Structure formats: C-alpha cells, structure tokens
Structure 1
Amino acid sequence: MYVLGIDGGGTKTVGVIADEYGKIAAHQTVGATNQNGVDRNKVESELINLFSSLKEQNESAFSNLSVVFAGMSGVDRPDAKAVMEKMISTMVPNDTKIVVDNDGVNALYSGTFGAPGIVQIAGTGSITFGINSNGERGRVGGWGYLIDDEGSGYDLGKEALHAIFKEYDGRGKKTVLTESILRHFNISLPPELIHIIYQVGKSREVISPLSRYVAEAADHHDEVAKEIIHHAGRKIGKSISSLAQQLFNAEETVPVVLVGGVFNRSDLVIPAIELALKDQKVQTTLLKPKLPPVGGAVIKAIQSKNAAVQDGFEEAFLSMG
C-alpha cells in the first residue's frame, strides 16, 4: 500500500510517498502553500510541481496511491479546506482517498506515531494542539503575535526589547541584552530601535530572530535573560496543562511533543515548563519528535485507511528520507 503524506506551510511544502513499513518511494519539496499568505494560483502551481515531480520519480507508486493526507497550514476555514481538497483531487488517480487537515496533526504524530497526545509548537509563533483517544481535538493559543503567541520566538524577542528599554529608562535591571541587540542592528542607543521595530508589516520578522540573544545572555548568567526564559517556559507549561485538562483524564500521562526553534535550547526552557505542569498537577511525558513533520503526515495517511504502521517504520523512513 502506498500513501502520500504532505506537510504544507508558509515557507515550504514537503511531500513523501511511502508504504506502511516506512519505505520511501518518492519525495519532493516545493514552495509555500498556506492560503493565508499565498495567492491561490500560486498554491495550485506549487502543488502541480509537487505532484508532477513525485509521479516522475516513481510513476508506479504514484498510480497506486491509496490515500493522500495533506496536513496544511491555512485550512482551518471550511472554504479553504474545500479549495485544497478540490485542487488535490485533480492531481491524483480518481480512486485515491483525499484527507485535508491542520498541519498540527503532522507535528503531533511525528512524535507519538499516531497515538493521542499534545503537540506544543513554539517557533516564530506558538500554538498548543491535541487529540485524545476519542478523536476529540482542542487547541490553546496561536491567536497571532499581536494578541498571543506566548512562549514563541517573537515573544522572547519582544520581552528582550522590553527589558532593554526598561534599563534605558532606569526602570529595570541592567542586562547584556542591550549590548547584543544594539550590535545586531549596528546602532548606538535604544531609541534608534524604534524606527526599525515599527516598520509597517515588518515587526514580527524583525523581532523574532532576537530570541537567540536571550539564550546567549542566559548562558552568560544574565538575570534578566534567565527571567525572560523562565516566564516563557511557564507560559508554555500553562498552555499545555490547560489543554491537557480539557482533553485528557487526570490519571492519564499525556505525551507532549515539543516542536519549534524555541526548543533548540530545551535545557533552558524545559525546567520552567515542568514547574508549571507540576503546579497544575498534570502528568506528561515531554518528547522531541523522532520524525520530520511529513513523517507524521504519512502515518496519518496510513491510519486513514484503517491500516497500521509496521515495525521498523522509523528506521526505514529516516534511512531513506
């Protein structure tokens, strides 16, 4: 049985044809397919490129696809989901089952291998998404950087800037973040940051990369940076505990998959997350994903045919990916 898993986002889209043993028959990466940020004609063009390449690589596997599972960002609205389903239906064999869903499923199953649990995504933005054993779903956060995205790279960068201006005003503690971030922008004083930060439509992409200086400062025992990271971890922990309490029984130990650049420094963030979870009396197991997100999409595709992932899937998938 061959299935196609797709992980589609605002930066790139990855497609993999594989079987239930994890053996990859074809794989390809194309551009963005998030309808919230890309024109629909462009989305269709990228999908055409994806499917054409997969078919060219292995026409036999493509012609015998059982399921396409497309875990995509930007398909939460019914109309956007319907558009994606229609596009894909024109590009695959007629009897292929098509399932379009949120890309959070990919991230979750990349760590749980199709089992219930929670995925905590903390990259440029943040969101907490989960599925329980009854198939019920929930989410916490992810409402955009202007009002939410707690614990994200943007959140860390914003708090670093806040700390810099508090020090400059005499309202806050001294921090090495000032020197690091001024050097990053090649400027001399914090007020010079204002015209950089408040560029129309640019704030998020300017602020998010500053999160790395928070980790560097914490490594140098900067108290302000350590407080920022601690608070970010507590916020993430609170989101996880909130969703766990909504979806799971108190006696269950919930697997939580940690995905995103913030967790590149899990040594700094995880202790605070664990403290928040302990305060809320939520039992969890924190996991780093074993597969890339598209691997989670392949697993969901296999499940969509009421089939099971076979032993050795992970090793085979990673060895050929």
Structure 2
Amino acid sequence: MILIAESGSTKCDWVLFYSSNSSPKRIRTKGLNPAILKKKELKKIISDNKELSEHSHLVTSIYFFGAGCNTSKSKNKVQLILSSCFKKATSIVEEDTMAAVYATTKTPAVVCILGTGSNCCYFNGKSIHSKAPSLGFLVMDEGSGNYFGKELLKAHYYKQMPEELRIIFKEQFDLKEKNVIKKLYQSKTPNKYLANFAIFLFDNIEHPFMKKILNEGMDKFVENHILQYSKELETVPLHFVGSISFYAKENIENILNKRGLKGTSFVQRPIDNLIERIKQDHLIS
C-alpha cells in the first residue's frame, strides 16, 4: 500500500491506495510541521487518526511533502516518526515546495506557495532553488494566511478597520485581548491561529478596506519574492499553489499584470495533481 502526504502547517492531506488502478482513500489530519511541533506531537497526530492506524501495517511506501521539511534535520525528524508509525514502510520526505512543483510542472518554472505560510522557488527541471531564505511567520510569509491574520488583528485593535467591519469581526471571532495574547504567545501553532482570521478577508473582499489589505499583501509578496526571479521569468512560466493564491487569483493577476507578468496556473489543493505526477513517474506500480 502506498501513502502520499501533502502537509502545510494547518492541515495535512493523506492519500492511501494499493496500486495506480485502485481508488484512493483520502484522509485529513492536522498539519505536521517539524519546525513547529515536537516529535511527540507529530506522532500523536498520526496515531490518533483511526484510518491511518488501521492501515499502518499495510503501508510499504510513503511520499511525504511538508512545510518545515527544508533541512536534513527536519526531514530526519519526520522520517523517524513515519518509521515508528508505519513499521513496514520506507519513506521519502521532501519540503512542501517540491510538492508544489510536482503539482504544477515537469519543466523549469517559478513556483509560489500561498497558504498558511508563503514561499517561492525556481525549479530548473530537476531540483529547486530559492533566492531568499524562509524565515517563517514572524519575519516573512508576506501574502499568506497568517500574514493577513496579523494585518486584520492590527487593523481591529488600532481601530483602523471601518466600524461596520469591526462589528462583524468581533461577532465572528473571540477578540478578548487576554485570549488573543494567549493564542499568540502560548499556542504551539500561532501561525495556524493567525491564518484562521484570513477567511474574514475573503468573506468581505468586496469592501474597499479589505481589497486594500489584500492588494498590499500580495504586492509585497510579488516585490519581495517573485521579482527575485525576474531573469528566470523571462523564459519560464509562473505557477501558484495554495488556498490563498486560489481565492486571491484575480487580485494576484492584476498585480502581476502591472509588472508585465502572468500567472500560468492557480492550484488550490496540490494533492490531486501530486498523485497523478507520482503515478506518471512510475513511482507507483
């Protein structure tokens, strides 16, 4: 049995199947980010899932693509967890940018991720190369769910958010200061907490204030990340993966157009394309 996992910080999509001809079984758990969670926490997410546990003895190969898996230390951490949960399986662990690449292209391209976090890389047809380090939600992650969550919270507490939006915002979320501070500074996954606020942005996207926040965030992502690959983009396409990029497609296209750029594809959930790619590459028999 083959197991494929595509994990962000918020959620992880798992797909189980016996062969390329069998119908896949889809499972969703919390995200497994080794840069944020400890080994015990990572293992618990897997072991607490009934479906994964029931099939654990049947899994022989695992392809895991995840946020935070960008160093040998983090990859080894995940591999150890997978080995302890799926004792008969061999595993391959790659960072989430490789999943984004597999989900969008087989040829050279610039590929962006805009989900809970954000990232951008150049794929030369064989390997990925990043021109800027990914320092996570505290410093970077422009245009991501947690970035917009921070912007909305600041706009609310600074009273910059229009009153009609502040009223709805307070009704939709628990905004007691002590609770927000606790979630931000005592939670194990503050990036996930922040990203939860992003839905409010898209639910009210027709409001000029929300459009301004969205456009400014995406403009920063283009400026700080995509334009680092201006030379490469003279000859290769530009792809986007992740829920934020999918829902903000029109805004991103407008911002790119002003710079003479164009997005080739916008993939909300890379897992489906990832399955087909792995099948086509004959990694699954």
- Per the normalisation by structure 2, the TM-score is 0.73
1:255 is aligned to 2:238 = yes
User: Any idea what the Cα deviations from partners look like across 1:33-83, whole Å, max 9, x if unmatched?
Assistant: 323333312323444556543357xx5xx4xx4x42111223223222113
Q: Is 1:268 matched up with 2:268? A: no
119, 122, 125: which one aligns with 2:114: 122
SS, match of residue 267 in structure 2? coil
What residue number does 1:80 align with? 74
What does residue 10 of structure 1 align with?
Answer: 9
Distance (whole Å) between structure 1 residues aligned to residue 99 and residue 178 of structure 2: 38
Structure 1: which 5+ runs fail to align? 169-174, 187-191, 311-321
Instruction: Decide whether aligned partners of structure 1 residues 124 and 231 sit closer, same or farther in structure 2, where only a CA change above 3 A counts.
Output: same
Once the two structures are superposed, what CA deviation does each residue of 1:169-218 show, in whole Å capped at 9, x if it has no partner? xxxxxx63x321244225xxxxx986665555277666545545545655
The answer on whether the counterparts of 1:232 and 1:269 sit within 8 Å (CA) in structure 2 is no
The correspondence for 2:206, drawn from 219, 222, 244, is 219
Equivalent residue letter for 1:307: H
Amino acid across the alignment from 1:293: P
CA, structure 1 residues 74+13, in 2 after alignment: closer, same or farther (shift >3 Å)? same
- Contact preservation (8 Å) 1:118, 1:240: no
Instruction: Tell me the matched-pair count.
Output: 276
Shift of 1:289: 1.9
CA deviation vs aligned residue, 1:245-265 (integer Å, no higher than 9, x gap): 47x3x5423131231235314
RMSD (Å) for aligned C-alpha atoms: 3.9
Matching of residue 288 in structure 1 with residue 281 in structure 2: no
Bigger relative contact order (CA 8 A; separation at least 6): 1
1:78-129 deviation line (CA, Å, top 9, x unaligned) = 2221132234345254xx65311112222332233x4443332223332223
Q: Which residue of 1 is the match for residue 282 of structure 2?
A: 307
Note the C-alpha offset of 1:295. 3.3
Larger Rg: 1
| 3-state DSSP of counterpart to 2:141 | coil
Distance 1:181-1:226 versus aligned 2 partners, 3 A rule: same
The answer on whether the counterparts of 2:110 and 2:122 sit within 8 Å (CA) in structure 1 is: yes
Q: What CA distance in whole angstroms lies between the structure 2 residues aligned with 1:139 and 1:299?
A: 29
1:71/1:105 contact within 8 Å kept = yes
Identity of aligned residues (%): 16
Structure 2 gaps of 5+ residues are none
Question: How far did residue 235 of structure 1 move?
Answer: 1.9
Q: Using the TM superposition, give the Cα deviation of residue 272 of structure 1 relative to its aligned residue in structure 2, in angstroms.
A: 1.5
SS of the aligned residue for 1:36 comes to: coil
Assess, with a 3 A threshold, how the Cα gap between structure 1 residues 20 and 132 changes in structure 2: closer, same or farther: farther
Partner residue, 2:41? 42
Other structure's SS at 1:288 match: strand
Report the residue type matching 1:137 in the other structure.
H
- Offset from partner CA, 1:122-155 (integer Å, 9 cap, x none): 2333222342224242264642333222122333
Separation in structure 2 between the aligned mates of residue 55 and residue 154 of structure 1, nearest angstrom: 33
